[in-house]
Amino acid sequence: MSTKVAVIGDRFMQPEVFVAALRERVGAELELRTLELPWPDEPMQHGYAGDALEGLTEFMGRPEDFVELLAGCEILVNHLAPVTGWLLDRCPLLRLIAVSRGGPTNIDMAAARARGVAVVNAPGRNASAVAEFTIGAILAETRLIRLGHESLRQGIWRGDLYRADVTGDELCEMTVGIIGYGHIGTKVVRLLKPFGCRILVDDPYVPLRAEDRADGVEETGLDRLLERSDVVSLHARVTAETRGFLGAPQLARMKRGAYFINTARGPMVDYEALYEALSSGHLRGAMLETFWQEPPPPNAPLLRLPSVTLTPHIAGASLKTVRHAAAMMAAEVGRHLRGEPFANPC
């Protein structure tokens, strides 16, 4: 007898990639139903920007959009579709939700637990992609790559970027502060080591790895990290504790002329305070990959600052991320069907 599985993907986590992984890795007969959402061609909704849906963040669609697809299904393999108590009440046979994200922010976890529905996720699915992107972001800022690019696009030869009072220093002469030492932060540290820079790490919940400590990476508190770093790179998760925790007082602690890199999430940063720190010249530059709302308003003053590099939340976008996340979900589905413990239960 086949197991009914609903697959809700999109134009990044494509349904056919999920299906291929399930066919390859699950040794059982599956009846697969698929649906493709229009993200990222159309933006998702963000609970922290006013699109609240029972406390969920970063989702696409409404629960009522998925009732028919999920009817009679035991398993949901999901990326962005919101799962609420209302939806679960209409899917009484559902026993597993495999959400291919670093955190189940589009799942009402309390509702799932109350109904005996297991939820698994894909921690670290895009850690490699984001870590590589972060190194590129640091180099783009500190070595003035963006400024050179923008001037040449306008037909201007910025020879002055070679001036000693304008050019950037090398990473081997800098101190880089890493806030958050999880899947991504640890990879950023590993990639930074060959550059020879001094590396500081702040994470009150994750101890420094022995190999990093042996290589001279220093564990320190947030204030000390901000005061000593030439580059501060954010890799924490959004929690009640971290929401807005980088505000005006923290930015004021940063060294004059330092750079700020955010490839994590926007709600952890006071962007008005960041604008003031940049426009006043206290900070020399910033690379911003995530924002207080996404997409940000096109007339936002921060988007017009010449000292800021901007990208539309693409750090985690890589084909490896897609393949890896799909494989992780297929493996969890196999464990469920065999009655084995999950690798990444939420």
In the DSSP assignment, the letter for residue 58 is S
Confirm if 129 and 317 have CB atoms less than 8 A apart: yes
CA dist., res. 28 & res. 18, Å (int):
15
Which of 313, 324, 335, 336 is catalytic? The answer is 313
φ, ψ for residue 337 (rounded to 5)? -70, -25
Active site residue 294: yes
Q: Got the DSSP string for 127-165?
A: HHHHHHHHHHHHHHHHTTHHHHHHHHHTT---GGGGSTT
Which of 265, 324, 335, 336 is catalytic? The answer is 265
> 211: part of which helix (H) or strand (E)?
helix 210-214
Which of 115, 227, 294, 323 is catalytic? The answer is 294
Confirm if 98 and 337 have CB atoms less than 8 A apart: no
Confirm if 262 and 313 have CB atoms less than 8 A apart: no
- Beta-bridge mates of residue 4: 31
The length of the chain, given as a count of residues: 346
Pull the structure tokens for residue 145. 């790559």
CA dist., res. 9 & res. 118, Å (int):
19
Catalytic residue ranges: 265, 294, 313
